[in-house]
Amino acid sequence: MFSKTLLVSLGLAAAATATATATATNAPVTTDNTGLQYRAVLQPKDNTTVTGHITTYPGPSQVGLNFFVELWGIPDGEALSYHIHNLPVPEDGNCYSTGSHLDPYARGDATPCDIHAPQTCQVGDLSGKHGPAFAPDDEAFSTVYTDWFVSSLADDPAFLGNRSFVVHAPDNTRLACGNFAVWEGH
């Protein structure tokens, strides 16, 4: 016959397992996104040739966000990763002050993004989910895509509007960065 204590400890063990597996959760698809567009322009830097911007634009529904990315001056032969970082770039322009990647569902940095399972990636890992920026000399990298997990809703944990855009060198050096802000262009 099971003792009460044993039943209680079995219950606790089950609860502990559930908690452990729930620490990193899949990112939910964002719905109810606003029609506002956000743009981050890379601030000019003396020690990199990389310039450009990333801009959101609304799709036919309020589900997910569309992105338009244009980058110039990518060193020949280098595939650059780029992300949404948690904190804005401060006045001094230091890209190292932008914190870590936007990761509201706690995947962490240890596991690389699986492009075939974007819902499991860090929400801010745009190049992980959509491919790195690459271009031959004197050409621009330009791409558009839909990301289903970033939000333009200010109280959503996956909100990008108060954060920054950071482009990295292959060795993970932070080359250039800029802040997202509402953009009225088109």
Q: Report the site for ligand NAG in 22-61 (rule: CB under 6 A).
A: 47-48
Residue nearest to Cu ion as judged by C-beta position: 83
Unique residue bearing structure tokens 């333009």: 152
Residue 93 is given by DSSP the state -
142 binds ligand NAG (CB under 6 A): no
154 binds, among ligand NAG, Cu ion, none (CB under 5 to 8 A by kind): ligand NAG
Residues in the chain, how many? Answer: 186
* From 6, 63, 154, 182, residue interacting with ligand NAG (rule: CB under 6 A): 154
Residue 143 pairs in a beta bridge with 69
Strand order in the sheet with 51-57: 82-85, 164-168, 174-183, 37-41, 51-57, 65-72, 141-147
47 binds, among Cu ion, ligand NAG, none (CB under 5 to 8 A by kind): ligand NAG
Q: C-alpha dihedral over 178, 134, 122, 107, to 10 degrees?
A: -130
83 binds, among ligand NAG, Cu ion, none (CB under 5 to 8 A by kind): Cu ion
Q: Which stretch binds ligand NAG (CB under 6 A): 76-84, 108-116, 127-135, 169-177?
A: 169-177
* First and final C-alpha spacing in the chain: 71
Q: Least separation, in Å, of the C-beta of 101 and Cu ion?
A: 6
82 binds ligand NAG (CB under 6 A): no
